[in-house]
């Protein structure tokens, strides 16, 4: 029976690999994200649980999970989680409002949401995806720490909690690493934005370098061995989730024009890219891997600290769900 099950699983995985290989990928493409998952895990401190540090095979799959939530049968999911893949740093209200809804309300207050399209897609919500899933991971680690594992039932439940933790960490990993691609942290996410001047004649929406850069180029030019030496084992505890995401996205955004300038010199994906693009791209992938390692590590550290006091909500702010 178990042989039959593993045979079936093997077939399904092979089929999934074929299907995933042929569908368009988003942000870094599968290869870039996999490299980042491997480098982030390899540089975690030894104090983190062994099940987490040893999850390389699971994590290389789970880190791309949100890119699989965008099929034709998931239009609502795509609309709500799709914006988490990007952030248009240049046009975002700053400092970032404290949570996703406050952000949308602020955009509305500033007259920035087009009521005819009714979408926040033109802004992106990556820092909020990062914030929410980092909180979720912290809570999941906290519950894991408190779980006994003496009886067979307790042991089984704790193993299940570990699967849940890896899933959450993988999704968080996607949001964190997506915006290490400067194109994902910018208004120039689908070609140089027509909303700003383009004196150098960078590629516009019709010849968008986005997919060519993060997919085609990374596939043929970048290997794990280019990225791994750029990240050391010095894990850093980050501060407030959102303020950290804000600074990290701003830094990534500062690199976007360089990609367009090289693309104008020689199109990404055509195999004749400038040599300097390779260390540059490895550095961007390393930035994402380092940041992810630090988010995972910080969630773990926080989960071992006393639970913060619950902030009281003002009576007049209570909603009908409470
Ligand atoms: Zn993505």
Asked whether residue 190 is domain-assigned, the answer is yes
Percent of the chain with pLDDT over 90: 82
For residue 169, the CA-to-ligand 1 centroid distance in Å is 15
How would residue 40 be classed by pLDDT, with cut points 50, 70 and 90?
very high
For residue 175, the CA-to-ligand 1 centroid distance in Å is 7
Asked whether residue 36 is domain-assigned, the answer is no
Asked whether residue 26 is domain-assigned, the answer is no
How would residue 39 be classed by pLDDT, with cut points 50, 70 and 90?
very high
CATH number at residue 208: 1.10.575
The SS3 call for residue 225 is helix
* pLDDT at residue number 314: 59
pLDDT tens string 255-306? 999 999 999 999 999 999 999 999 999 999 999 999 999 999 999 999 999 9
pLDDT tens string 103-136? 999 999 998 887 776 678 889 999 999 999 999 9
* pLDDT at residue number 116: 76
* pLDDT at residue number 165: 98
* pLDDT at residue number 320: 57
Domain count, the chain: 1
Q: Is the pLDDT assigned to residue 319 strictly greater than 50?
A: yes
For residue 66, the CA-to-ligand 1 centroid distance in Å is 6
For residue 309, the CA-to-ligand 1 centroid distance in Å is 34
Q: Is the pLDDT assigned to residue 10 strictly greater than 50?
A: no
Asked whether residue 285 is domain-assigned, the answer is yes
Helix ranges (H only) for the chain are 2-22, 29-42, 50-53, 56-62, 75-81, 100-109, 126-146, 152-178, 209-211, 218-221, 224-227, 241-253, 256-265, 277-303
Give the pLDDT mean for 84-111: 95
For residue 156, the CA-to-ligand 1 centroid distance in Å is 33
For residue 29, the CA-to-ligand 1 centroid distance in Å is 8
CB atoms under 10 Å from CB of 233, counted, come to: 10
Instruction: Say which residues have a Cβ less than 8 Å from residue 98's Cβ, sequence separation at least 6.
Output: 242
Looking at per-residue pLDDT, the higher value among 194 and 22 belongs to 194
* pLDDT at residue number 150: 98
Asked whether residue 286 is domain-assigned, the answer is yes
Q: Is the pLDDT assigned to residue 85 strictly greater than 60?
A: yes
Residue 261 lies in domain: 41-306
How would residue 321 be classed by pLDDT, with cut points 50, 70 and 90?
low
For residue 299, the CA-to-ligand 1 centroid distance in Å is 22
* pLDDT at residue number 121: 84
- Model confidence, pTM: 0.89
User: Would you give the distance in Å from CA 207 to the centre of its chain?
Assistant: 25
Give the pLDDT mean for 152-179: 98
For residue 297, the CA-to-ligand 1 centroid distance in Å is 22
pLDDT tens string 184-200? 999 999 999 999 999 99
DSSP calls for 159-175: HHHHHHHHHHHHHHHHH
For residue 82, the CA-to-ligand 1 centroid distance in Å is 8
Q: Which residues surround the ion ligand 1 when the cut-off is CB under 5 Å?
A: 26-27, 85, 178
For residue 24, the CA-to-ligand 1 centroid distance in Å is 11
Asked whether residue 232 is domain-assigned, the answer is yes
Give the pLDDT mean for 63-85: 95
Q: Is the pLDDT assigned to residue 205 strictly greater than 50?
A: yes
């Amino acid at each position: 029976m178990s042989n039959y099950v593993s045979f079936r699983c093997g077939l399904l995985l092979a089929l999934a690999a074929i299907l995933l290989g042929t569908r368009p990928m988003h942000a870094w493409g599968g290869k870039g994200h996999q490299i980042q998952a491997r480098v982030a895990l390899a540089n975690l401190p030894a104090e983190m649980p062994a099940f987490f540090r040893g999850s390389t095979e699971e994590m290389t799959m789970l880190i791309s999970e949100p890119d699989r939530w965008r099929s034709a049968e998931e239009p609502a999911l795509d609309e709500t989680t799709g914006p988490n893949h990007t952030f248009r740093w240049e046009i975002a209200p700053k400092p970032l409002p404290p949570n996703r809804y406050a952000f949308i309300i602020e955009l509305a207050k500033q007259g920035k949401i087009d009521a005819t399209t009714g979408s926040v897609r033109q802004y992106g919500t990556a820092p909020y995806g990062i914030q929410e899933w980092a909180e979720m991971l912290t809570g999941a680690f906290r519950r894991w720490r408190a779980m006994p594992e003496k009886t067979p039932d307790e042991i089984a439940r704790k193993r299940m909690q570990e699967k849940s933790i890896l899933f959450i960490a993988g999704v968080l990993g996607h949001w964190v690493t997506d915006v290490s691609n400067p194109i994902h942290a910018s208004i120039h996410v689908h070609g140089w934005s027509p909303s700003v001047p383009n004196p150098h004649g960078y590629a516009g929406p019709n010849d968008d370098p986005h997919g060519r850069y993060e997919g085609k180029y990374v596939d043929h030019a970048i290997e794990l061995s280019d990225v791994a030496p750029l990240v050391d084992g010095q894990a850093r505890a980050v501060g407030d989730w959102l303020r950290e995401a804000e600074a990290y996205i701003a830094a990534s955004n500062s690199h976007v024009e360089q990609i367009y300038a090289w693309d104008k010199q020689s199109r990404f994906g055509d195999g004749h890219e400038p040599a300097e693009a390779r260390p540059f791209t490895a550095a961007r992938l390393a930035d994402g891997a380092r940041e992810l390692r630090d988010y995972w590590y910080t969630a773990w550290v926080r989960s071992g600290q006393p639970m913060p006091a619950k902030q009281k909500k003002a009576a007049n702010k209570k909603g009908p769900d409470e």
